[in-house]
Structure 1
Amino acid sequence: SAGHTHKRVTENLGVTYYVNERFTQDYSGVSLKQVESSVEDDYISNLRNNCWKEKQQ
């Protein structure tokens, strides 16, 4: 979405996501890990959903 132009990659799974310019000021340590965990959870959920849809075809 608008303003989310800075590319980042999660440390664990290497999932790409985009943040605004203040992200590194607002998130670090535990809060960064929580954000990245949420990004990865969403990624895995979407992957599972897409796989399920393909199996239905």
Structure 2
Amino acid sequence: AGKPKVQVKGEDYTLTDGDVVIAAITSCTNTSNPSVMVAAGLLAKKAVEKGLKR
């Protein structure tokens, strides 16, 4: 399969290995499946511990 292409604010990007993509978690997710919110928090915590910056 080819590399996924996305458009953000009119700019085209190609996602490659090692790229980090963060998706918004909507309010319906945290009310219908709170475990997803816990998992997202733990993932973010680990990423910061490993040196992820803004």
TM-score, length of structure 2 as denominator length: 0.38
Higher helix share: 1
Higher relative contact order (CA 8 A, sep 6+): 1
